[in-house]
Amino acid sequence: MKNSYSMQANGQKNSTNESFKFVPEKRTDVQSPAPSNQKQPSCCLSVSKVSYTVSERVGPWWDIQSYRKKWTRQILNDVSFHVESGQIMGILGNSGSGKTTLLDTVAGRIGNTGTLIGEVFVNGRKVKQAQFQDCFSYVLQSDNLLSYLTVEETLTFTAQLALRQHSASAIRMKVAAVMAELSLSHVANTVIGGRIFPGISGGERRRVSIASQLLQDPKVILLDEPTTGLDSMTANQIVVLLADLARRDRIVIVTIHQPRSELFRVFSRIAIMSCGELVFCGDPGEMVDFFSSCGYECPEYCNPFDIYVDLTSVDTRSSEREAATYRRMHDITSAYRRSEIYQRMTWKIRQSCQRANKPMIPFKSKESPSCMSKLGVLLRRTVRNLSRDRMGVIMRLSQNLIYGMFVAFFVMHLDDDITKGALQDRIGIIYQAMGASPYTGMLNAVALFPAMRAIADQESKDGLYQKWQMFLAYIIHIFPFSIISVFIFTSFLYWAVGMHPDPWRFMCFTAVIMVPHIIGELLTLVLLGVVQDPNMVNSGMALLNIAGIMVGSGFLRSTQQMPLVFQWLSYLTFQKYGCELLIVTEFYGLNFTCKPPVRFPGGCLIKDGNIVIDQLYPGALSRYTLDFLMLYAFLPALVLLGIISFKIRDRLVRR
């Protein structure tokens, strides 16, 4: 009978000391090729001969010679393994060894930048591209959770997005059961928390991310470094919890850095990766036997995980070390390929694929609600989360007002006397109101949306909804904020500086200013769909707005004096319609006074606002309704553009 290994605290039984000696004990669960009548596992996952290569530029872009050349890089090389339900497999390896890429490959999340060969089978059936999403649950390295929701709310919203046919009480029970399974019940009503306010702990956040995946009862759960950033005790608890989940008839695969030696007993299978190759994959006892047979005993008091990962890593600090460590890694890999462990694994893959009565692929529970119901859930979730951000709400409602106070303080009171700036001050206010409103919208979007976008990226990969649906929910939620915020701003500015004292004109002024503010936010969202970096979006938006106000307003240079191409371009700017509308709203029927001394000859010729309208925007009076329609047409056009942008994002974002 073969030996297996257990850890025994050296010299002091039951000690929690980290130093362990690996001692042989009688094995009872030796895994040998199963006879055909042996009970089959309810689910098995086989990865067969997976290789992934990418084509990369040799040098950086500023070195044009080498940038033109490309080389092919092998990220994964002929990786195969087999795991069965009830097992938890830990993928170990030094940084850059290909752990995450392997996990992405198994989950069908690998991008199309490289060439992927090999196959993934579940229950001996090849998983097709469209099936990956419905078969595997994937927990990313970073937790993408909404900070102001409680744990229970987070899970309830996820359940509502995933499980349509469940009644509200069934969803409540499901959430309660998952919270109990992951020991989260005691923090059910605690908020997740964020960088600037406390919430649940890091380990609890990890468990909420795992719980979100469990709601759909997946048979296979993949986790990318679930213990990163956690203290070692919490990290251990997470792995033990994952092992418990695996024991309940699931397959759990987890990439992990530096597991503690206590976890030796917890993993059912251990895979060690180096330079994209699987150097070893087997159960922990086999691992110690295998490395011993290669001449590498695990020294006493040492963590076998550390020892074996070090042994198989390539040290690139010098070319001599690199050659020597690469040779060692290659020798160990060759020995593994020749070993009985490898033969048994390939036999199991063949056997599961050749079974006559293959079980079906176990898909996650997925009863997606209709598009409208998903929108409803996403909208409720977005509103609940953002409306709890007290400072955020105050800032969103008051930022326009604060900027309006600056303008009002600067202008003080509008005069009707042309010699005292009656014309210039009014145009200045209109220019400011049109030019600055998009910026406040932009600031909101850049501050709030990237976090929602990260969640949408992940949840759309999980198949809960599509990215554009989150975009749509987000923009629906901004309307009340924008309307109230702009109304507060115009109510103050309009009456404080003494613009045309007609309530109807005030309403028109407000209705016009509303649009650039919303457009600023919408356009930023459109750009955030295709540009990952919010800083670049900020700069792009600022430039677009400056260009728009220059070409469209006619304030910097009279539209009639501009080259024809700019005159045509001005029709594409919302600033043209907005400024035209504001000029008419303010100046129509306005009579100026003119008291000497007059600062420039002919200064008193401008007697009323109609002359201003004729000079700046000939025919604008007759276009008033049309301008309103054109201005408001930008909103649905941008919503459409946003949907397209987030559909493009589906192709851009792969992980």
Ligand X SMILES: Nc1ncnc2c1ncn2[C@@H]1O[C@H](COP(=O)(O)OP(=O)(O)OP(=O)(O)O)[C@@H](O)[C@H]1O
Could you say which of 74, 78, 86, 96 contacts ligand X (CB under 6 A)? 96
The distance of closest approach from Cβ of residue 100 to ligand X in the complex, given in angstroms and rounded to an integer, is 3
Could you say which of 82, 99, 477, 517 contacts ligand X (CB under 6 A)? 99
Render 358-421 in DSSP notation, one character per residue.
PPPP-PPP-BPPPHHHHHHHHHHHHHHHHHT-HHHHHHHHHHHHHHHHHHHHHH-S--SBGGGT
* Amino acid residing at 445: A
Sheet holding 220-224: strands in order across? 136-139, 220-224, 251-255, 88-93, 269-274, 277-282
Among the candidate windows 109-117, 295-303, 375-383, 495-503, which touches ligand X by CB under 6 A?
109-117
Among the candidate windows 42-50, 108-116, 471-479, 614-622, which touches ligand X by CB under 6 A?
108-116
Distance from C-alpha of 469 to C-alpha of 584, rounded to nearest angstrom: 38
Among the candidate windows 30-38, 96-104, 175-183, 358-366, which touches ligand X by CB under 6 A?
96-104
Among the candidate windows 78-86, 110-118, 120-128, 333-341, which touches ligand X by CB under 6 A?
110-118
Could you say which of 22, 48, 81, 93 contacts ligand X (CB under 6 A)? 93
- Tell me whether residue 164 or residue 654 sits nearer to ligand X (CB atom): 654
C-beta neighbour count of 156 within 10 angstroms: 21
Q: Helix axis angle, 422-461 relative to 574-587, nearest 10°?
A: 140
Query: Do residues 125 and 358 lie in contact, with contact meaning Cβ atoms separated by under 8 Å?
Result: yes
- Tell me whether residue 95 or residue 169 sits nearer to ligand X (CB atom): 95
Could you say which of 31, 101, 482, 575 contacts ligand X (CB under 6 A)? 101
Distance from C-alpha of 646 to C-alpha of 654, rounded to nearest angstrom: 13
Residues 46-65 that bind ligand X (CB under 6 A): 54, 56
Nearest to 291 by CA among 277, 306, 257: 306
Could you say which of 41, 90, 108, 114 contacts ligand X (CB under 6 A)? 114
Distance from C-alpha of 410 to C-alpha of 413, rounded to nearest angstrom: 9
Among the candidate windows 88-96, 293-301, 423-431, 576-584, which touches ligand X by CB under 6 A?
88-96
- Tell me whether residue 102 or residue 616 sits nearer to ligand X (CB atom): 102
Query: Do residues 307 and 299 lie in contact, with contact meaning Cβ atoms separated by under 8 Å?
Result: yes
Distance from C-alpha of 297 to C-alpha of 337, rounded to nearest angstrom: 19
Query: Do residues 509 and 586 lie in contact, with contact meaning Cβ atoms separated by under 8 Å?
Result: yes
The distance of closest approach from Cβ of residue 473 to ligand X in the complex, given in angstroms and rounded to an integer, is 31
Among the candidate windows 98-106, 185-193, 465-473, 640-648, which touches ligand X by CB under 6 A?
98-106
- Tell me whether residue 75 or residue 211 sits nearer to ligand X (CB atom): 75
- Tell me whether residue 55 or residue 343 sits nearer to ligand X (CB atom): 55
- Tell me whether residue 101 or residue 154 sits nearer to ligand X (CB atom): 101
**Region class of 10: left (phi > 0), else alpha (psi between -120 and 50), else beta:** beta
- Tell me whether residue 100 or residue 137 sits nearer to ligand X (CB atom): 100
- Tell me whether residue 140 or residue 361 sits nearer to ligand X (CB atom): 140
- Tell me whether residue 100 or residue 399 sits nearer to ligand X (CB atom): 100
- Tell me whether residue 96 or residue 603 sits nearer to ligand X (CB atom): 96
Distance from C-alpha of 418 to C-alpha of 620, rounded to nearest angstrom: 22
Could you say which of 50, 75, 222, 418 contacts ligand X (CB under 6 A)? 75
Binding residue count for ligand X, defined by CB under 6 A? 14
Q: What per-residue string of b and e applies to 474-513 under the rule 16 or more CB within 10 Å gives b?
A: bbbbbeebbeebbbbbbebbbebbebbeeeebbebbbbbb
- Tell me whether residue 96 or residue 359 sits nearer to ligand X (CB atom): 96
**Strand 114-122 to strand 125-126: parallel, antiparallel, or no bridges (unpaired)?**
antiparallel
The distance of closest approach from Cβ of residue 236 to ligand X in the complex, given in angstroms and rounded to an integer, is 19
The distance of closest approach from Cβ of residue 106 to ligand X in the complex, given in angstroms and rounded to an integer, is 12
Among the candidate windows 91-99, 342-350, 473-481, 548-556, which touches ligand X by CB under 6 A?
91-99
Distance from C-alpha of 296 to C-alpha of 69, rounded to nearest angstrom: 41
Among the candidate windows 12-20, 90-98, 326-334, 362-370, which touches ligand X by CB under 6 A?
90-98
The distance of closest approach from Cβ of residue 231 to ligand X in the complex, given in angstroms and rounded to an integer, is 19
Could you say which of 100, 352, 524, 570 contacts ligand X (CB under 6 A)? 100
Burial of 87 (0-12, 13-18, 19+ CB in 10 A): buried
- Tell me whether residue 98 or residue 516 sits nearer to ligand X (CB atom): 98
Would you count residue 652 as binding ligand X (CB under 6 A)?
no
- Tell me whether residue 276 or residue 441 sits nearer to ligand X (CB atom): 276
The distance of closest approach from Cβ of residue 553 to ligand X in the complex, given in angstroms and rounded to an integer, is 45
Adjacent-strand bridge partners of 50: 79
- Tell me whether residue 97 or residue 458 sits nearer to ligand X (CB atom): 97
Would you count residue 40 as binding ligand X (CB under 6 A)?
no
Would you count residue 90 as binding ligand X (CB under 6 A)?
no
Among the candidate windows 92-100, 124-132, 320-328, 448-456, which touches ligand X by CB under 6 A?
92-100
Could you say which of 16, 65, 95, 625 contacts ligand X (CB under 6 A)? 95
Would you count residue 108 as binding ligand X (CB under 6 A)?
no
The distance of closest approach from Cβ of residue 110 to ligand X in the complex, given in angstroms and rounded to an integer, is 8
Could you say which of 41, 90, 98, 226 contacts ligand X (CB under 6 A)? 98
Give 453's contacts (C-beta < 8 A, 6+ positions apart).
Answer: 467, 470, 528
* Amino acid residing at 626: L
The distance of closest approach from Cβ of residue 248 to ligand X in the complex, given in angstroms and rounded to an integer, is 27
The distance of closest approach from Cβ of residue 287 to ligand X in the complex, given in angstroms and rounded to an integer, is 19
Omega into 596 within 30° of 0, i.e. cis?
no
The CA R_g of the chain, rounded to the nearest whole Å, is 33
Query: Do residues 281 and 269 lie in contact, with contact meaning Cβ atoms separated by under 8 Å?
Result: yes
Distance from C-alpha of 218 to C-alpha of 242, rounded to nearest angstrom: 13
Would you count residue 426 as binding ligand X (CB under 6 A)?
no
Among the candidate windows 89-97, 206-214, 236-244, 356-364, which touches ligand X by CB under 6 A?
89-97
Would you count residue 112 as binding ligand X (CB under 6 A)?
no
Query: Do residues 19 and 9 lie in contact, with contact meaning Cβ atoms separated by under 8 Å?
Result: yes
Render 582-597 in DSSP notation, one character per residue.
HHHHHHTTPBPB-PSS
Would you count residue 529 as binding ligand X (CB under 6 A)?
no
Q: What angle do CA 377, 382, 383 make, to 5 degrees?
A: 100
DSSP letter (8 states) at residue 442: H
Among the candidate windows 7-15, 99-107, 323-331, 443-451, which touches ligand X by CB under 6 A?
99-107
Tokens of 146: 């909404």
Contact residues for ligand X, defined by CB under 6 A: 54, 56, 75, 93, 95-101, 111, 113-114
